[in-house]
Amino acid sequence: MAIQDIYPTALRLLGRPVLVVGAGPVAARRTKGLLDAGARVTVVAPVACPALTELADAGLLNWEPRPYRPADVDGVWFVQTATGDAAVDARVSADAEAQRIWCVNASDHEASAAWTPAVAVVDDVKIAVNAGGDPRRAMALRDAVATALATGDLPLRRHRLSGTGATPGSVALVGGGPGDTGLITVRGRRLLGQADVVVADRLGPRELLAELAPDVRVVEVGKTPGHHPVPQSEINRILVEEALQGHRVVRLKGGDPYVLGRGGEEAEFCRQHGVEVEVVSGVTSAISVPAAAGIPVTHRGLAKGFSVVTGHEELAEVPARADHTVILLMGVGQLRDSAASLARAGLPLQTPVGIVENGYLPNQRVTIGTLGTIADQAEAAGVANPAVIVIGDVVRVSPFAPSHFKTADYSTTSPNAPRTTKTRVLTP
């Protein structure tokens, strides 16, 4: 049988009688698939493997513990042979052929009237792969396609309404991470591929928007420091309005929706208006962007905890110690005031400070100094948002830190080992 002779289709077997001849492991796998499709299964075999006897004992199928008889094919819609005996399988196949009943002959795929594909299910999409009678090849291809669908590399978006009524809309608050397209979660990428409407921030994995289908609407609601052209109340309204029209809405945000991203407000507003909402955590820039510069927010022997703040007014409430990392988000404009606040609270002026601009992006830049010098350095270099500021001894671990920062015994493996730098670093 050549692959050109195959006409791919799908059978609706719900409530219809089917016959399985044989009761070994192969028959058990095929029977499970038939039961999942809702078929009324009769198994004919003198003995059965444990998997099939369990299904029979549970009343999910009818097992006839005897050899096959030609009359077994009478009145059935579909036949599967899997006896392991080529002669028996051929006889069953011939009897089914005589009655114009489709039959899968597990012993001889070339002579079989039908083939069983390798199958996977992703959401409500069922993938069936035939590969010229090579089951392992078919399974490998099936797995590859299923993975691509699950990760969003292939589109899962619906284009036809199911049933008679309109499908309900939904909102997914997706954390896109710090901007690199490889740092969005698999779940977030998948939901983005299913979206009808994307409500997008200025930050996050913007390159993924170019991969959307042409008819996916992108609503720009990005904010910059001091400039919010679309207020939060309007963003909330857009999410609910689009979902109530039956659309799948993705709110694509930078970082994590629940870390200084106002995702909690958006989720609450959706629920108040009866809209289903899902929150997909993202890689927050507070931790990931320092990591892009080799700065851990905690490190054995240097820091056991950290605080994330957005402005100098909160700094009075965080520990003013070099062994407690302070992370400033959206803090470039208030950097001088923030440094002064920490100094007044008792943090030494020699405490290391690192600023990472455009983390993970091609134009990433790292500026490292001390609490006493960093404001002047940032001003001279023209440091600008988006940037994450890290204050504390953990900055010493960065490969971009100057050599005189390495005097502390911060390494658990090779203390004071020299490190190389690959980016411009401004130091006093």
**Domain at 70, CATH number:** 3.40.50.720
Comparing C-alpha atoms, which of 291, 352, 294 is closest to residue 326? 352
Instruction: Judge whether 164 and 127 are in contact, CB under 8 Å.
Output: no
Average pLDDT of the chain? Answer: 87
User: pLDDT (tens digit, 9 = 90+) per residue, 130-183?
Assistant: 777 777 888 888 888 888 887 777 777 776 554 444 568 999 999 999 888 889
Number of structural domains (the chain) is 3
Residue 422 has pLDDT above 90, yes or no: no
Q: Which of 108, 223, 323, 406 is catalytic?
A: 223
User: pLDDT (tens digit, 9 = 90+) per residue, 327-364?
Assistant: 999 899 999 999 999 999 999 999 999 999 999 888 99
Q: Is residue 153 part of a domain?
A: no
Same-domain check for residues 90 and 188: no
Supply the pLDDT for residue 164: 43
Final residue in a domain of this structure, among 116, 134, 149: 116
Same-domain check for residues 310 and 268: no
pLDDT classification of 418: cutoffs 50, 70, 90 = very low
Supply the pLDDT for residue 17: 97
Q: Is residue 150 part of a domain?
A: no
Same-domain check for residues 401 and 319: yes
Comparing C-alpha atoms, which of 391, 397, 427 is closest to residue 410? 397
User: What is the pTM (predicted TM-score) of this model?
Assistant: 0.66
Q: Is residue 132 part of a domain?
A: no
User: pLDDT (tens digit, 9 = 90+) per residue, 217-228?
Assistant: 999 998 666 666
Residue 52 has pLDDT above 90, yes or no: yes
Q: Is residue 121 part of a domain?
A: no
**Strand ranges across the sheet with 352-357:** 305-309, 324-329, 387-391, 352-357, 365-370
Helix H or strand E segment including 42: strand 40-44
Supply the pLDDT for residue 184: 92
Residue 419 has pLDDT above 70, yes or no: no
Supply the pLDDT for residue 136: 84
Q: Is residue 129 part of a domain?
A: no
* Percentage of the residues of the chain whose pLDDT score is greater than 70: 90
- CA-to-CA distance for 178 and 286, rounded, in angstroms? 9
Supply the pLDDT for residue 134: 78
* CA dihedral sign of residues 353, 323, 422, 405: positive
Q: For 279-299, what is the mean pLDDT?
A: 93
Q: Which of 89, 95, 201, 256 is catalytic?
A: 201
Q: For 313-328, what is the mean pLDDT?
A: 87
Cα 298–300–301 angle (5° rounding)? 110
Q: Give Dmax (Cα) for the chain.
A: 94
Residue 424 has pLDDT above 80, yes or no: no
Q: Is residue 312 part of a domain?
A: yes
* Percentage of the residues of the chain whose pLDDT score is greater than 90: 61
**Domain at 205, CATH number:** 3.40.1010.10
Q: Is residue 382 part of a domain?
A: yes
Same-domain check for residues 279 and 183: yes
Same-domain check for residues 315 and 387: yes
Same-domain check for residues 362 and 265: no
Supply the pLDDT for residue 30: 92
User: pLDDT (tens digit, 9 = 90+) per residue, 403-417?
Assistant: 888 754 555 444 444
Cα 13–16–21 angle (5° rounding)? 90
Supply the pLDDT for residue 311: 67
Same-domain check for residues 261 and 302: no
Beta-strand (E) ranges in 206-350? Answer: 217-220, 248-253, 276-280, 305-309, 324-329
Supply the pLDDT for residue 415: 44
Higher-scoring residue by pLDDT: 91, 317: 91
HEC per residue, 353-384: EEEEECCCCCCCEEEEEECCCHHHHHHHHCCC
**Neighbour count for residue 166 (Cβ, 10 Å):** 10
Q: Encoding tokens for residue 387?
A: 């940037």
**Which residue range is the domain that position 213 belongs to?**
170-283
Is 201 a known active-site residue? yes
Q: Encoding tokens for residue 317?
A: 């409430």
Same-domain check for residues 214 and 203: yes
Same-domain check for residues 342 and 374: yes
- CA-to-CA distance for 146 and 202, rounded, in angstroms? 31
Supply the pLDDT for residue 109: 77
Q: 81: which residues sit within 8 A by CB, 6+ positions away?
A: 20, 21, 22, 88, 89, 92, 93, 103, 104, 105, 106, 107
Continuous H helices in 66-168: 86-98, 135-150
Same-domain check for residues 261 and 314: no
Q: Which amino acid is at 311?
A: G
pLDDT classification of 53: cutoffs 50, 70, 90 = very high
Residue 370 has pLDDT above 90, yes or no: yes
Residue 190 has pLDDT above 70, yes or no: yes
Same-domain check for residues 294 and 366: yes
